[in-house]
Amino acid sequence: STQTDLTGNGHNAAYKGGTPTLALLPNGDIASDFNGNSQYATVPSSPAFSIPTTGSLTYEAWIRPDVLQMPNVANSDQYVDWMGKCQNYSPSCEWEARMYNAQTPQNRFDRISGYVFNPTAGLGSAADWQPSATGVIQAVHWYHVVVEYTTKSQPSDCINYGPEPGSINIWVDGVLWDHAAHGSTGCMSQYSIVPKAGSSPLNIGTMAL
């Protein structure tokens, strides 16, 4: 089945792994409720989803984790990718949205992050919205997430920056993340990231297959 692009721009999504059930957003609008295992939506690649097209890209999403210790993490860092344009990693990786488990080896509990990568994937630069304490993020609760990427500016404390500036910011429920608490995080220069447009589709509900 498919989901029509409600903006009218023709970026329609195809559901994979079965059609998700429906859930109600806080304002009563209908949203897709993916099963966290096999279901996701995929949208064909478009310049509209790539940072270099204008030098900036902002996305927003409503997310509702059913559990905070997510069982289907595929890595030791204990996170899931809930959206991204990096389906096969190299050579067409661009960006991803990520959420960490309530318990992680690095104490990144309930962290919500926006990442950006070089086309070959590997280490990415990110903005990390870290709750002040456990219990701030709750299961079966809606959260409004906004992530902004730009190559037009960067924080003054970025390290290793060259001629290609770049920064990442993230808000959760209107609260901006604390860049000062994360050192060089939020700077694309942290891992020498220079975004490039690729052919990966935009996946929602997962990132890579």
pLDDT band at 161 (very low <50, low <70, confident <90, very high): low
Task: Give domain limits for the chain.
Answer: 40-204
For all residues of the chain together, what is the average pLDDT?
Answer: 94
Q: What is the pLDDT of residues 17-74, one digit of tens each?
A: 999 999 999 999 999 999 999 999 999 999 999 999 999 999 999 999 999 999 988 6
Write the CB contacts of 38 (distance below 8 Å, at least 6 apart in sequence).
17, 18
Query: In this predicted structure, what is the pLDDT of residue 209?
Result: 73
Q: Which two tokens stand for residue 209?
A: 């297959």
d(CA 193, CA 62): 27
d(CA 56, CA 167): 10
Q: What is the pLDDT of residues 63-103, one digit of tens each?
A: 999 999 999 886 888 999 999 999 999 999 999 999 999 99
Query: In this predicted structure, what is the pLDDT of residue 83?
Result: 98
Q: Which CATH class is domain 40-204?
A: mainly beta
**Rounded to the nearest 5 degrees, what angle is found at the Cα of 169, between the Cα atoms of 109 and 163?**
125
Please give the residue that has the higher pLDDT: either 155 or 146. Answer: 146
Residue 163 has pLDDT above 80, yes or no: no
The candidate with the shortest Cα–Cα distance to 128, out of 159, 172, 189, is: 172
